[in-house]
Amino acid sequence: MKRTISSILLSVAAMMASATFTSAQNDPVVDKIIEIGTTDNRTMEYLDVLSNRIGGRLIGSNAYDNAVEWCADMFEKWGLEVWVQEAGEVPVGFNRGPWFGRMLGGDGMSLHFATPSYTVGTKGVQRGHVLKEPLTQAEFDRIKGQLNGAWVLIGGQNNGYPIDWTETGDSIRNAVIAQNVEIEKKNREAMAHNRSLREMSEKERKKKGLVEKEILPYKYEPALFYRQMVEAGILGIIQSTEIPIRALYDRKNLDKMTFDNLPAVPDIKLHEDQYATIEKMVERREYFQLEFDIRNHFRMGPVKYHNVIGVIRGTRYPDEYVLAGGHLDAYDVATGGVDCSSGVTPVMEAARLIAEAGGKPERSILFCLWAGEEFGLLGSKFFVENNTVDLEKISNYFNRDYTPFVPMGITVPDAMYDDFAKVCAPLEGVNPDFPFTVEKRQGEPRPRPKTAGGSDHAYFAMNGVPTISFNIRDPKGYNFDYNEIWHTERDTYNKSIPEYQEHTATVTAVILYGLANLDHLLSREGLYAE
C-alpha cells in the first residue's frame, strides 16, 4: 500500500513539474493569441467590409481611398503606430458604377457583360441598332451611313483588356488597312485571272501551263476602323468574351491619360453565347436594338495612392523587422473577395491578435497593405526602392495572395530550421484539422530573382530579403479554383473560406510574434544562390 501511495505522489509530482516546465516554456502572449484567434476571430468581419461594403478598389478610385482610411483607422484603434505612405499617383482616377444592358426586340434578354476599368460609360441610357464591323475600306464605305447611333460587333479573342483607342492603336490599324488595300488589289487580279481560266478548256490551260491564283486572306485587327467608326457616330463596340468575364484595366494608356484624351466610346465585353446569338441575328438582318446604361466615371487627377502599414514597435530591436502583407487594391469588376481581401484580412487580424494579447515584441512587426499590386507591384516596389526600412534588418517577409487556402506548414533552408521549429511549436495543437509542420528545403538554393513578377514579395526577394511563405492546402476539399475568380466577376466574398481565413490569421500572428522575439535575425545562409 505504501508503495502504491508513493507511486501516486511521485506521479503527481512529475505532472506538476511537467506543468511548471511547460508554463515556463510557453509565452503567455502566444497562448492569448491562440485563445483569441480560436474564440473571437474577426477576419471575416474585415473581409465583409472590404469586399461587400467598400467593394472593388483600384488605385485612383474613391473605393481605394476609403479602404486606406478604414484600414488605417483599424490599426490605430488597436493601438498600432500607422504609416500611410504615399507610393505614387495615377494621372486620372476611375470609379465604376452600376451597369445594365438588354435587348429590345428578339427575345428581350438581359445582357451579361462588363467593361474594362479605365474605359468610358454611356451618357445615360443609350439604345441603338447593331452592325458587324467592316473589314475592308469598301465595307466601311458601304455601311458608313448606318454607323451613326449603332453598336458595333468586333471580333478577336478578348483577354480582359480594352481595345487600344490611342494614336498608337490607330497607327497599327491603319497599317493593316493599307495591307488589306494591297491584298484586295491582288485578289481582284487573281479573281479576274481565275475567271479567264474558267473560260478555257482544261486542255488549253494545261498546254499554256496556267493555274488558278490563290485568294489571299485579309489581315485582321479588332476594331480595324475604330477611329473612322467613332467619327461616324457609333455608340460603342461589343466584343465576345468567355465566362466568367474578366475585365482588366487600360494598361497601355493609363500613364498617358488626361481629361483631354479619354476614350470616346464604351468597350463592352459580352457573354460569348449572347454575342453569338446577336451576331446571327445581325447576319439574318433581323431588326432589334440593344440598350446599355454603364456608369463609369473618370476622376480629375492626379490621384495619389498609398500603402497602409501598421507597426508594433520592437522593445529591444526597434530597427529590426518581421513583415507580413497583402495588396489592398482589387479589380472593380467584382469586389476583390479573394484577390486580395483573403490576403489583407488575415494580416489585419494578426495585428489585432498580437495587440489584444498584450504583445510587446523585441523586434518590430510591420503589417503591410500594399497599393497597386495589380498595376505592377507599385506599392511594394516603392517601399523597397525607397529604403523605407533597412532591408538587411528584415528577418522575413510573409506575403499572402492568390488563394484563401489554409497554411499547414512551411519549408525553410537548413539554417532557419531550428528557429522555425521553435517558433511554430505552439501551433501543433491549435486545430487538429490543420496540423502545421516545419520541413527542411531539399536541394540547392534557388537563384535570387533578377526581375519582378508574381506578387508583392518580388522586390523583396530581388534584394535578398527572405520571403519564405506558408505551404497552403485545401484539406477539407472546398474545390476552390483560382483561375475561375482571377480578375473576374466571380471574385466575391463568398469565394473565401472562413475557417481557413481565421486559422491563417492565428498562424500568422503566432509566427510573426515568435520570430520577432528571437534573440537574432533569421539566418540567410542557403537562402538564395547568388
Identify the pLDDT of residue 339: 96
Query: 302 falls in which pLDDT band (50, 70, 90)?
Result: very high
> How many Cβ atoms from other residues are within 10 Å of residue 521's Cβ?
19
Phi, psi of 94 (to 5 degrees): -150, 135
Residues 222 and 311 in one domain: no
Burial class (CB in 10 A: 0-12, 13-18, 19+), 83: middle
- Domain containing 141 — which CATH number? 3.50.30.30
Query: 14 falls in which pLDDT band (50, 70, 90)?
Result: very low
Q: Is 69 helix (H, G, I), strand (E, B) or coil?
A: helix
Order of strands, edge to edge, in the sheet holding 406-412? 437-440, 406-412, 470-473
Q: Which of 295, 321, 341 is the last residue of a domain?
A: 295
Q: How far is CA 427 from CA 91, 421, 433, 463, 492, in A?
A: 47, 10, 12, 31, 30
Residues 206 and 323 in one domain: no
Mean pLDDT score, 405-409: 97
Residues 238 and 153 in one domain: yes
The closest alpha carbon to 267, from 160, 129, 134, belongs to 160
Identify the pLDDT of residue 250: 93
Residues 182 and 320 in one domain: no
Order of strands, edge to edge, in the sheet holding 126-132? 93-104, 289-299, 126-132, 150-154, 236-241, 267-271, 113-114
Query: 22 falls in which pLDDT band (50, 70, 90)?
Result: very low
C-alpha cell at 62: 474613391
Instruction: Give yes or no for residue 10 having a pLDDT over 80.
Output: no
Instruction: Give yes or no for residue 294 having a pLDDT over 70.
Output: yes
Contact (CB, 8 A) for 132 and 153: yes
Residue positions counted in the chain: 530
How many domains does the structure of the chain reveal? Answer: 2
- 395 within a domain of the structure (yes/no): yes
Residues 195 and 308 in one domain: no
The closest alpha carbon to 211, from 200, 223, 221, belongs to 200
Query: 327 falls in which pLDDT band (50, 70, 90)?
Result: very high
Residues with Cβ within 8 Å of 417's Cβ and at least 6 positions away in sequence, in order, are: 438, 440
- 152 within a domain of the structure (yes/no): yes
- 156 within a domain of the structure (yes/no): yes
Q: Which of 295, 318, 338 is the last residue of a domain?
A: 295
- 9 within a domain of the structure (yes/no): no
Look up residue 270 and give its amino acid: L
Instruction: Give yes or no for residue 259 having a pLDDT over 60.
Output: yes
Give this prediction's pTM: 0.91
Q: Is 289 helix (H, G, I), strand (E, B) or coil?
A: strand
Residues 85 and 104 in one domain: no
- Reported as a single tens digit per residue, the pLDDT across 270-279 is 999 999 999 9
- 267 within a domain of the structure (yes/no): yes
Q: How far apart are CA 509 and CA 361, in angstroms?
A: 12
**Residues of the domain holding 472:** 29-91+302-529
Query: 17 falls in which pLDDT band (50, 70, 90)?
Result: very low
Residues 220 and 360 in one domain: no
Residues 86 and 108 in one domain: no
Residues 373 and 343 in one domain: yes
Q: How far apart are CA 53 and CA 44, in angstroms?
A: 13
Residues 87 and 103 in one domain: no
Mean pLDDT score, 9-36: 60
Query: 13 falls in which pLDDT band (50, 70, 90)?
Result: very low
Bridge partner residues of 368 (DSSP): 309, 325
Identify the pLDDT of residue 94: 98
Query: 8 falls in which pLDDT band (50, 70, 90)?
Result: very low
The contacts found for 278-283 with CB under 8 angstroms, 24 or more apart, are 278/103, 278/130, 278/153, 278/238, 279/132, 279/153, 281/106, 281/130, 282/130, 282/131, 282/132, 282/153, 283/132
- Domain containing 516 — which CATH number? 3.40.630.10
- 4 within a domain of the structure (yes/no): no
Identify the pLDDT of residue 25: 57
Residues 153 and 287 in one domain: yes
Q: How far apart are CA 108 and CA 177, in angstroms?
A: 36
Q: How far apart are CA 79 and CA 440, in angstroms?
A: 37
Q: Which of 269, 295, 321 is the last residue of a domain?
A: 295
- Reported as a single tens digit per residue, the pLDDT across 491-521 is 999 999 999 999 999 999 999 999 999 999 9
- Where are any strands of DSSP class E within 300-426? 303-312, 317-327, 363-370, 394-399, 406-412
Contact (CB, 8 A) for 314 and 320: yes
- Reported as a single tens digit per residue, the pLDDT across 366-383 is 999 999 999 999 999 999
Residues 42 and 125 in one domain: no
Characterize 383-402 residue by residue with b for buried, 16 or more Cβ atoms within 10 angstroms of its Cβ, and e for exposed: bbeeebbebeebbbbbbbbb
- 3 within a domain of the structure (yes/no): no
